Amino acid sequence: MNKVYFIGAGPGDPELITVKALRLIKQCPVILYAGSLVPREILSEVEESAEAIIDTASLDLDEIIGHTAAAIKQGKDVARVHSGDPSVYGAIGEQIRRLQELGIDYEIIPGVTATSASAAWLGKELTLSGVSQTIIMTRYEGKTPFPERERLPALAASGATLAIHLGVTRIHKVVEDLIPHYGEDCPVAVCYRTSWPDQDKVTGTLKDIVQKVRDKKFTRTSLILVGHVLGTDEFKDSYLYDQDKAHVYRPKVKQEKARTVETAMAHPTAKS
């Protein structure tokens, strides 16, 4: 049975696509890609070999499903290429629902998220022992309906590290919602088009980030990262590499044996 592959192309850098994703793009004769968010360079290796490459930026859902169903009917696999990870703000839910109604098989291929890529670009770990062990990926409320329990003030009450999509044009509102929970001095980073050639970023605090973003003139395609993990060196080492903390791959008995061997090597004539 032919299949539709929802493929995560990553945040923009063509080298951040997975090996599996690239293999499937090469395998599928029909490719539908979100041209407003996925760089054409992602498809450079199939420009000559693919039977059809369709930019869906200007298409509505019915048109996208129409192209997809027609290809499947002709016995062709379809690569539906999305930015980032298709399961996170990829709008694939409604596409999957239509495919299921049509009896069309599908598979999701995960991709690198903007959150992961932005953290890497900033050189930060988003989970630090004793500071924050939770990352909340959300978006600022706009046209999309929001459950009351998921509005930003409710999420901010957790004190977790936040990754806020689609909120840069309302950065002043974001700040107003967060200051009561994080304080004015909480670090913030706003990353624009992470991993694209024209990527840009600005860092600051909840107190000054609004003006900094306006100075940069960021109005779209920006991720807002908020949390104390972005600006502290005061955190505990994790247990993962602690020599005094045993786990299944590093039991204490192994350490004791290693020390015995080490002592024997240092003193060959010594008795154990």
Condensed to tens digits (0 to 9), the pLDDT of residues 243-256 reads: 667 776 767 654 45
One-letter amino acid of 250: R
As annotated, the residues of the chain forming the CATH 3.30.950.10 domain(s) are 117-230
- Which pLDDT score, from 0 to 100, does residue 147 have? 80
As annotated, the residues of the chain forming the CATH 3.40.1010.10 domain(s) are 3-112
- Which pLDDT score, from 0 to 100, does residue 101 have? 97
Write down how long the chain is.
272
* pLDDT at 129 > cutoff 90: no
* pLDDT at 88 > cutoff 50: yes
The pTM of this model reads 0.85
pLDDT in tens, 93-128: 999 999 999 999 999 999 999 999 999 999 999 988
- Strand ranges inside the chain, DSSP E: 3-8, 30-33, 52-55, 78-82, 105-109, 135-139, 161-165, 187-192, 200-205, 222-226
Q: Are residues 137 and 163 in contact, defined by beta-carbon separation less than 8 angstroms?
A: yes
Average pLDDT, the chain: 90
pLDDT in tens, 167-195: 999 999 999 999 999 999 999 999 999 99
> How many angstroms separate the Cα of 230 from the Cα of each of 77, 96, 158, 206?
43, 37, 17, 12
* pLDDT at 264 > cutoff 80: no
Fold of 3-112: Cobalt-precorrin-4 Transmethylase; domain 1 (3.40.1010)
- Which pLDDT score, from 0 to 100, does residue 223 have? 97
Q: What element of type H or E holds 97?
A: helix 93-102
> How many angstroms separate the Cα of 191 from the Cα of each of 119, 194, 195, 225?
9, 6, 10, 8
Fold of 117-230: 3.30.950
| Chain mean position to CA 265 | 48
- Which pLDDT score, from 0 to 100, does residue 113 have? 96
Categorize the per-residue pLDDT at 258 as very low, low, confident or very high, splitting at 50, 70 and 90: low
